[in-house]
Amino acid sequence: MSRGFGLAGLKRLRDLREAGAAGRLAAANAELAQGRQRTQRVREESLASDEQVATGADLLAFAAARASNRSMLTELQTQLAILQTQAEKAEAEHRMARRDAVVVEKLEQRHTQAAARAELTAEQARLDEAAQRGHQGRRRA
């Protein structure tokens, strides 16, 4: 009977960390995609406006709307930059967590292979012993 993998608890911990990092990365990427969509929507809306300027008041309202759109776009681009930075950080954290998990996975694979080799060696020794007994029994008879 082979001994269990001694680092099983560490492997579970590393797998949980990787899963958490993957979740944070997915959330950051989703927020980034939403931010990009919002920014694109505001850009399209500002370009699509075909307001008719009839009076000076209309012109002032139009200019105020344009300034407001520019201000909103600037704010959205700032948010987008922050979201991009967060997504990059989450990706780096996921990469590190995955690397750490892979290290323990490789150790587990080596342990499994060594246990299988030990089991095969023990089985071969039992077979050799049984064959030796059978051979000695036939010589005595």
The answer as to whether 6 is a domain residue is no
Q: Token pair of 37, please? A: 């969509």
Torsions phi, psi for 50 (to 5 deg):
-120, 70
Confidence band, pLDDT 50/70/90 cuts, at residue 31: very high
Confidence band, pLDDT 50/70/90 cuts, at residue 50: low
Structural domain count of the chain: 1
Cβ 89 vs Cβ 31: under 8 Å: no
The answer as to whether 66 is a domain residue is yes
Name the residue range of residue 117's domain. 13-140
The answer as to whether 4 is a domain residue is no
The answer as to whether 7 is a domain residue is no
pTM over 0.95: no
pLDDT digits (tens, 9 = 90+) for 10-27: 999 999 999 999 999 999
The answer as to whether 2 is a domain residue is no
**How many beta carbons lie within 10 A of that of residue 46, not counting itself?**
15
The answer as to whether 69 is a domain residue is yes
The rounded distance, in Å, linking the Cα atoms of 105 and 139 is: 51
The answer as to whether 84 is a domain residue is yes
Confidence band, pLDDT 50/70/90 cuts, at residue 43: confident
Q: What CATH number corresponds to the domain at position 62?
A: 1.10.287.1700
pLDDT digits (tens, 9 = 90+) for 101-125: 999 999 999 999 999 999 999 999 9
Confidence band, pLDDT 50/70/90 cuts, at residue 136: confident
The answer as to whether 99 is a domain residue is yes
**CB-based contacts of 58, cutoff 8 Å, min separation 6:** 51, 52
- Residue 3 burial by CB count (10 A; 0-12/13-18/19+): exposed, middle or buried? exposed
